[in-house]
Chain A
Amino acid sequence: MWWRIQALLIKEFLSLLKDKKSRFVLIVPPLVQLFLLSYAATYDLNQLPIAIYNEDRGSAARDLIARFNGAPAFREVLRIERQEQIAAAQDSKQVLMVLHIGQSFSRDLLGGRQLAPVQILLDGRDSNTAQIALGYARNVISQFNSDWARQHNQTGPPAELRVRAWFNPNLESRWFIVPGIVGLLTLVVTMTVAALSVAREREQGTFDQLLVTPFTPAEILIGKAIPGLIIGVAEASFSIFMVVFWFQVPLLGSLAALYIGIVLYVFSVIGAGLMISSLSVTQQQGLLGGFLVIVPGVILSGYATPIENMPELVQQLTFVNPLRYFLIIIRGVFLEGLGIADLIDQYWPLALIGLFCLSCAGLLFRKRMY
């Protein structure tokens, strides 16, 4: 049996890699994407263009403005002189935030009895960035408040918050996002390889030839699954190498725990891809099916938006999503230093998804012969 599988493997690898273009698309675009997307995907604000509208002549207002200008998150691109300019600056998306200090700011602040309001106008067209920007602005102001209290010899606040973040002390969202990209790229590449594999043979008519050979469906299935497994694991390995050495994300946990996760993850993705492929008659159908798994798979994985924010029913749906488990594994191993024992609950669902899909694919091989 082994030599037959070996023959199948050679055939599969040849059809994947013999063509220069298909070699190219398997290797180059994922790597380019790893770089581009890793640099792009961050929730940390950096040099966000803001406008400042200061009606106050006091030094306190100047101090507050200096703090906004000093914060790396903001960059003043416009000084507003008249009320009407605000709308124009916001409408044209020139700035995302306007800091407005009213005429009585310094007076209220020095008077002490009254709260000195500072207005912030945000562009809700991008409400996510608006919300993050608001958080940054709030930090600048509370720092200003506590420094003000200290300088003016007030009896400072009776209590203070001491915030500490575990696992990611500087709250760099890149540490969270970049390991996730490994899961994303592996999903995209292995899914398309698997989803097109059987569909291509069907469309070209070579699948019937394969079925009349002495190969059993199980052997054909293994022959189709292993090349994808090797390609997926190789690509994931290279991406992880870059994440550690180029992006300098700390890898605290054990590599063994990570690799068990990678193999099981790629296995489950290939299972899903082969199931789609054995349902499709043309490559277009295979591609569409792959897409219909990849897109929700990414959206409902907790990659960009937390699963806890989803409605209960959708949260239940995420339990059949391999990427959900893999993201927990890779982030856990990288940032929390988890080991094999901590991740058992993530491993077995992946294995289950893979086995289920592969058995379905095997059944469909025989059922759909046209």
Chain B
Amino acid sequence: MSVASQRLLGLIRKEFLQVLRDPSSLAIAFAMPVFLLLLFGYGVSLDARRVPIGLVIEHVSPASRSFSAGFDYSDYFQAHYFRDMREARQALLTRKINAIVHLQADFDQRLTGSEPAPIQVIVNGVDANTARLTSGYVQGVFEAWLNARAAWQGQEAPQPVQLAARVWYNSALRSRNFLVPGLIAVIMTLIGALLTALVMAREWERGTMEALISTPVSVREVLLGKLIPYYLLGMGGMLLSISMAVFLFQVPLVGSLWVLLVAGTLFLLAALGMGLLISIAAKNQFVAGQIAIVVTFLPAFILSGFIFNIDSMPWAVQLFTHLVAARYFVAILQTVFLAGNIWEVILPNALALLLMASAFLALALWRAPRRLE
């Protein structure tokens, strides 16, 4: 064995020992993914099911009853009946219900009149997204009722154009199927940066950097010695996350595991490289920790396309998202998990990850300390 590789092995061994003695690194790599995936997988859902809705029906008649039955039997709603608008408003204000559907006393008479009979719907608009979904569901119940009523009376359908939606890749629109793969990217961003963000800063702060520099090891070896152990830890965490997604959350893995692992390697190198760069530039654990938190979690959460659609952002922000490595990894993960090995998506994104990884590592090498200042 050459001297150089012996030196490298020694460095790796030192880093591993450090990991084992302060188990918080092991916790970052293994406990954190399990904890976060459980929390997200079970806790987060964008599927509004059983939305509490208030119905105020001032005069009960066959027509109003057939209308409200649509809410009683819908999976999307949990219907609550109120005697008058005052009570219903109170419930809306205190968030017991998300919306009110109000049929006035003269609803029956006006149904046969020349003008359409009004059905008043009030939604709580504070959460605009939920409000929009809720009013969409109300619209669905309403249109189904209209068409059923027309068919029963032998009239023309009042809603002549009917929308038939088909969803590809995730036909049940199970939000867990797209959240869990995206989540793996968020978690790996955290792991990658947290593992390495402090490692160089720590050597500076504790004064051991001087000892390292005065040994014959080269800068490249120091960086590799930091990179390899944390890469192995990170890949372990990644495998754990993928198996949890597949076996625990039953997310279908349509594409191949190998593609995921290669993409994961590229992504992890980018994340670790970013962590190392932060650590080298900061030289101080407090600053490194702050930067690591600020540049990893929120950007990976909000700017990666994991929850918020990138195409809808202003173009300047869209441009910025290209600097967020998680963005590419989210696209690869969602595609490989749900759609399969589609190279038109995988290759450009993998290339972007490769570029980011090389850029971060090159910068880290360039900025790495060669002398004590």
Closest chain B CB from A4 CB (angstroms): 25
A166-174, A237-245, A346-354, A355-363 - the one binding chain B:
A166-174
Total interface residues in chain B, CB < 8 Å: 121
B38 → chain A closest CB, angstroms: 10
| B-chain residues with CB within 8 Å of residue A30 when the two chains form the complex | 294
B127 touches A306 (CB 8 A): yes
Contact B168 A121, beta carbon cutoff 8 Å: yes
A166 x B125 contact (CB < 8 A): yes
Q: A16 — nearest CB in chain B belongs to which residue?
A: B286
Query: Once the chains bind, are A93 and B161 in contact (CB under 8 Å)?
Result: no
Do the beta carbons of B167 and A122 come within 8 Å of each other?
yes
B105 at the interface (CB under 8 A from A): no
Which residues on the B side are within 8 Å of A291 (C-beta)?
32, 190, 194, 293, 297
Q: A171-B125, A285-B22, A314-B43 are in contact. Are A45 and B312 (CB under 8 A)?
A: yes
Given contacts A116-B160, A128-B175, A284-B198, whether A159 and B116 have CB atoms under 8 Å apart is yes
Q: Is the CB–CB distance between B125 and A168 below 8 Å?
A: yes
With both beta carbons as reference points, the residue of chain A lying nearest to B173 in the complex is identified as A127
Q: Is the CB of A93 within 8 A of B335?
A: yes
Per the bound structure, the CA–CA distance linking A69 and B231 in Å amounts to 48
Interface size class of A (residues with CB under 8 A): 35 or more
CB-CB under 8 A from B98, the residues of chain A are 308
Q: For chain A residues 40-99, which have a beta carbon within 8 Å of chain B?
A: 40-49, 64, 90-93, 96
Q: Are A196 and B285 in contact (CB under 8 A)?
A: yes
Q: How far is the CA of A183 from the CA of B298 in the complex (A)?
A: 13
Interface-lining segment among A6-14, A137-145, A213-221 = A137-145
Question: Complex Cα distance A84/B47, Å?
Answer: 31
- Inter-chain contacts of B48 with A (CB < 8 A): 306, 308-309
Stretch at the interface among B6-14, B135-143, B266-274: B135-143
**Chain A proximity of B358: nearest CB distance (Å):** 25
Is there an interface contact between B297 and A294, defined as CB atoms closer than 8 Å? yes
Which chain A residues lie closer than 8 Å to B143 at the CB level? 142
Minimal beta-carbon separation of A14 from chain B (angstroms): 13
Given known A-B contacts A134-B165, A287-B292, A158 and B111 have beta carbons under 8 A apart: yes
- How far is the CB of A298 from the nearest CB of chain B, in Å? 7
Q: Which residues of A contact B138 (CB under 8 A)?
A: 161, 163
Nearest-neighbor residue (CB-CB) of A116 within chain B = B161
Q: Contacts A127-B170, A158-B158: A22 and B287 contacting too (C-beta < 8 A)?
A: yes
Interface set, chain A 121-135, CB cutoff 8 A to B: 121-132, 134-135
In the assembled complex, how far is the CB of residue B125 from the closest CB belonging to chain A, in whole angstroms?
3
A-B contact count (CB 8 A): 370
Chain B residues contacting A29 (CB-CB under 8 Å) are: 290-291, 294-295
B137 CB, min distance to chain A CBs, angstroms: 9
CA distance A309 to B362 in the complex (A): 45
By a CB distance below 8 angstroms, the chain A residues around B159 are 115, 142, 145, 157
B294: chain A residues at CB < 8 Å are 25, 29-30, 33, 188
Q: How far is the CA of A298 from the CA of B48 in the complex (A)?
A: 19
Let me know if B232 is at the binding interface, CB within 8 A. no
> Bound state CA distance, A126 and B333, in angstroms?
11
Complex CA–CA separation, A340 to B25 (angstroms): 44
List residues 101-135 of chain B with CB under 8 A from any CB of chain A.
107, 110-112, 116-133, 135
* Interface pair A112/B160, CB less than 8 Å apart: yes
A367 within 8 A of partner (CB)? no
* Chain B residue with the shortest CB-CB distance to A28: B294
A292 within 8 A of B: yes
A212 within 8 Å of B (CB atoms): no
* Option from A90, A116, A165, A300 in Cβ contact (under 8 Å) with B39: A300
Contact B136 A135 (CB under 8 A): yes
**Which single residue of chain B is at the shortest CB-CB distance from A60?**
B161
Most chain A CB within a 10 A radius of its CB, from B121, B198, B298: B298
Partner of B163 from the list A19, A93, A138 (CB cut-off 8 Å) is: A138
11 contacts between A and B (CB under 8 A): A42-B313, A108-B160, A116-B162, A127-B173, A130-B173, A139-B139, A160-B119, A165-B123, A200-B286, A285-B24, A295-B36
Nearest first, the 4 A-B pairs at minimum CB distance are A124-B170, A165-B125, A168-B125, A92-B344
